[in-house]
Amino acid sequence: MILVADSGSSKTDWMGYHNGETIKFNTPGINPYFLSEQEITKLISKNESLLQYAGEVKEIYFFGAGCSSPDKHEVVSNGLSAVFSRAFISVDHDLLGSVYATCGSAEGLNCILGTGSNICYFDGKKIHDGHHGLGYVLGDEGSGTFFGKKVLLSYLYGKMPSTLAAEFKKSFPAEKEQIITNVYQKPFPNIYLASFSRFMASHKDHPFIQEILRNGFQEFVDTNVKDYPRYKNVPCHFVGSIAYYYQDELISVLQENGIEAGKILQKPIDELFSFILNKEGIAQQAS
């Protein structure tokens, strides 16, 4: 059995090829910056759907947020190997996974706009290192965490229009002290902050929310996309829930900056899964 996984900080999507059939699973996000080997093993062990196949898995191709260095690869690999003891395990950055899903083997820019954000240039053969992917404290422009923080701060600072503020309070009744505790003292503050970005979905047409969205996407373009000299010569692809659900606003900002919008995928797992099977010849071997 072959497993392919695409993991953000919030959720991991799994697809497997087993006896000629495709199967799907979901687990919480697996990010080695926030989880130890033991915690990853424990997280996987809670998923009975995955566990029932543990002894049959021969290969795992894992692409995840935070998997940008050999030591982080090892954390994830060791955590998974404790469950899938018979499997060959390959761990790579989620950027590479989304590149495979969007660019395939063609030149392009590939962006992630989910809980966090990132970008890379792919020349058709390899990814070129950039200056991005700094995480939610230093970067993550245009991400769920970025927008969640913008919305939350506008409410806490009293900058949000009163009608929206009343709706916000109904949706998120937490008081200032509780919010501060969740951000500074509890695990996964990035996911907590990103949860506030959901407020934008039900009020997307409000001018105040439109301004936040457009300014956020413009900041992502200015800080990230325009850092690449060929940004006007190649398609700019996107993966992630923020890009997908607010693609009208995103495409509009891209057009205003002379940037060609490429694929916009909510999740890369289906395209990534197909690419890996074809690249490795797994489908032919498995069948």
**In the chain, what are the domain boundaries?**
2-98+268-286, 106-265
User: 269, 240, 229: which is closest to 5 by C-alpha?
Assistant: 269
What is the architecture of the domain spanning 106-265?
2-Layer Sandwich (3.30)
Please give the span between the terminal C-alpha atoms of the chain, in angstroms, as a whole number.
11
Band (138; pLDDT cuts 50, 70, 90) = low
Instruction: Identify the DSSP state of 187.
Output: S
What pLDDT is attached to residue 287?
36
Instruction: Sort 34 into a burial class: Cβ within 10 Å, 0-12 / 13-18 / 19+.
Output: middle
d(CA 49, CA 24): 9
Q: What is the pLDDT of residue 53?
A: 85
pTM here is 0.79
Tally Cβ neighbours within 10 Å of residue 159. 11
The pair of three-digit structure tokens given for residue 197, joined into one six-digit string? 């970005």
Predicted confidence (pLDDT) per residue in 270-280, tens digit:
999 999 988 76
Looking at residue 127, its amino acid is: I
Residue 160's pLDDT band (boundaries 50, 70, 90)?
Answer: very high
Please tell me the distance from the alpha carbon of residue 244 to that of residue 11, in angstroms, as a whole number: 16
Domains 2-98+268-286 and 106-265 share a fold: yes
How many CB atoms within 10 Å of residue 12? 24
Q: What is the CATH number of domain 2-98+268-286?
A: 3.30.420.40
Beta-strand (E) ranges in the chain?
A: 2-7, 11-18, 21-28, 59-64, 88-93, 108-113, 117-122, 127-128, 236-239, 261-265
pLDDT score for 286: 40
Average pLDDT over the chain, rounded to an integer: 89
Q: What is the pLDDT of residue 218?
A: 97
Res. 284: pLDDT tops 90: no
List pLDDT tens digits, range 169-189. Answer: 999 887 888 888 888 888 778
